[in-house]
């Protein structure tokens, strides 16, 4: 899987942060989508089925914790990696993020190269899980292949 095959949804209410992150991720050839609030994020996530979502905690209308919980209810997004990227660094905020279904919690500010490295590490975990799931769902006997998912 190349970076171009990876859809990333960035959710933040600050336009300059969206532009900065989008620029740096597009420079690495990721396919990038953005949303400026939780409600738009839920709609975009169900449409594009992102591989990774970078989600701010503090947003108007619907905060990141509630947005994360809602996205986790979308069947097409159950395997999406969700990482909070936020200025909130208190323990209780981080714990709430993980309880809501986040895979990682990244404190701002973060340097672009470090963020890219963390994204690759998170996506590597997903690729390993997909490969493990695929290999255990197919039975191979001589020239016969049975995919247990399609039974």
Q: Give the CATH number, domain containing residue 126.
A: 3.40.50.2300
**In this predicted model, what pLDDT tens digit does every residue of 114-129 receive, in sequence order?**
999 999 999 987 665 5
Tens of pLDDT along 69-112? 999 999 999 899 999 998 888 899 999 999 999 999 999 888 99
Neighbours of 45 (CB within 10 A): 26
Q: Is a pLDDT exceeding 70 seen at residue 136?
A: no
Structural domain span for residue 16 = 3-150
Rg of the chain over all Cα atoms, to the nearest angstrom? 17
Q: Give 117-123's long-range contacts (Cβ < 8 A, gap of 24+).
A: 118/83, 119/8, 119/25, 119/30, 119/52, 119/83, 122/52, 122/81, 122/83, 123/6, 123/51, 123/52, 123/81
Determine how many CB atoms are found less than 10 A away from the CB of residue 50.
25
Q: How many domains does the chain have?
A: 1
Token pair for 23:
């620029």
Q: Give the C-alpha separation, 106 to 116, whole Å.
A: 12
What is the structure's pLDDT at 45? 97
**Nearest 10 degrees: Cα torsion 95, 97, 103, 106:** -90
Tell me the CA distances in angstroms from 42 to 37, 61, 68, 93, 105, one per residue in order. 9, 12, 9, 21, 19
pLDDT in tens, 47-69: 999 999 999 999 988 999 999 99
pTM: 0.83
């Amino acid at each position: 899987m190349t970076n171009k095959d990876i859809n990333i949804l960035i959710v933040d209410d600050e336009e300059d942060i969206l532009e900065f992150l989008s620029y740096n991720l597009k420079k690495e050839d990721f396919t990038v989508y953005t949303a400026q609030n939780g409600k738009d994020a839920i709609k975009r996530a169900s449409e594009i089925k992102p591989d990774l979502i970078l989600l701010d905690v503090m947003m108007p209308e619907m905060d990141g914790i509630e947005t994360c919980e809602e996205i986790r209810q979308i069947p097409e997004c159950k395997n999406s990696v969700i990482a909070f990227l936020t200025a909130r660094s208190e323990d209780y905020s981080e714990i709430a993020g993980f309880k809501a279904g986040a895979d990682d919690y990244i404190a701002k500010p973060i340097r672009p190269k470090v963020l890219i490295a963390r994204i690759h590490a998170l996506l590597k975990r997903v690729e390993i899980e997909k490969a493990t799931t695929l290999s255990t769902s197919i039975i191979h006997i001589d020239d016969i292949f049975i995919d247990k998912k399609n039974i």
